[in-house]
Amino acid sequence: MTPLAATLASIGGVVVSVITALATLSKTLADRRHGIGEHELATSRFGLESMQASIAVKDAIIVQLREQLEESRQEVRELKVQIEDLQTEVELLKEASGRSATP
Amino acid sequence: MIEHRHVYISTPRWAKVADRGLRALSYYALSFTGLHQLVGRHPLFEENSFTASWTGFLALVLLAASMVAGTAALTGKAQVEYVSLPLLLGVVGARLVLGLSAVGVSPVVALMLALWFLMAARYVWIHVAVTRARMIKRTAVTVLAPEED
């Protein structure tokens, strides 16, 4: 490789690295504005695991609550049927008592 | 057999100190290389040429960037290290190309290549940590504490 070619290649490499460094700088500044600092970086590994655990617990709670909701709906349906039966029974009893009251 | 995957073992203090110290030492070794090229009497190319001036400029940038990265590593500022590493990787890569062109494979070039790979690994490590931290922040905002409609 001639010195000129090596110089041109190295200039290209440095230009690319400067652009990358500026992009990284702007992203890091944006991160710091959004509250991602040194501490968040240092604890990100355990933070991610605890976050995944929290999300798993949240999903489990949602599934459990959905099952309870379905059970409650089923109970409500059964109670409605019981109420309708009781209302029918009450009406029959009223009719029967009205018939027996007439001479 | 004990499952170690979810066992959180905190790193001992001496390991953290050794990690920071050794990394800072590597960066300061690089800055010493830059300083040596600036003030040394061993020019790679003939003097008063553009290539020689460019090599001198690279040595200056190498000195500055590795000093910043070394101080950041020593004080535990990973974000500063994260910003300075791309520049350092580019400058060391450029210096490697020039060194290979001038003298071919030499012990110094081989050592710089090894340091380049170590710095690339460190950059990937910090980048993964940054990505995880961003994901945590995003998840905390959108999933765990969603805004009320």
Secondary structure (3-state) at B139: helix
Looking up tokens 């029974």 gives A89
Q: Which of A3, A14, A41 sits opposite B78 (nearest CB)?
A: A41
- Give the pLDDT confidence score for residue B118 in this predicted structure: 92
Please name which of B62, B78, B72 lies closest in space to residue B29, comparing C-alpha atoms: B62
Res B96 pLDDT > 70: yes
pLDDT range class, residue B3, cuts 50, 70, 90: very low
Q: What whole-number distance in Å separates Cα of residue A93 and Cα of residue B19?
A: 89
Query: What is this model's ipTM?
Result: 0.79
Alpha helices in A2-102 (DSSP H): 3-33, 38-42, 44-101
Cβ proximity of A25 and B81 under 8 Å: no
DSSP B44: S
Q: Which of B8, B82, B135 sits opposite A48 (nearest CB)?
A: B135
Q: What whole-number distance in Å separates Cα of residue B9 and Cα of residue B22?
A: 22
What are the pLDDT digits (tens) for B37-81?
A: 888 766 666 666 788 888 888 999 999 999 999 999 999 899 999
Please list, in sequence order, all residues whose beta carbon lies within 8 angstroms of the beta carbon of residue B31, skipping any fewer than 6 positions away: B62, B63, B66, B67, B70
Res A19 pLDDT > 70: yes
Please name which of A95, A17, A69, A80 lies closest in space to residue B96, comparing C-alpha atoms: A17
Q: B-side interface with A, Cβ within 8 Å?
A: 6, 8, 45, 49-51, 54, 58, 61, 76-79, 82-84, 86-87, 89-91, 93-95, 97-98, 100-102, 126, 129-130, 132-137, 139-140, 143-144
Res A31 pLDDT > 80: yes
Q: What whole-number distance in Å separates Cα of residue B98 and Cα of residue A10?
A: 7
Element (H, E) at A103: none
Res A98 pLDDT > 90: no
* Least Cα separation, residue A61 to chain B (angstroms): 13
What are the pLDDT digits (tens) for A66-94?
A: 999 999 999 999 999 999 999 999 999 99
The answer to whether the predicted template modeling score (pTM) of the entire model surpasses 0.80 is no
Subunit contact B90:A13, Cβ cutoff 8 A: yes
What's the CA angle centered on B66, arms B65 and B70, to 5 degrees? Answer: 125
Please list, in sequence order, all residues whose beta carbon lies within 8 angstroms of the beta carbon of residue B76, skipping any fewer than 6 positions away: A38, B20
Cβ proximity of B78 and B132 under 8 Å: no
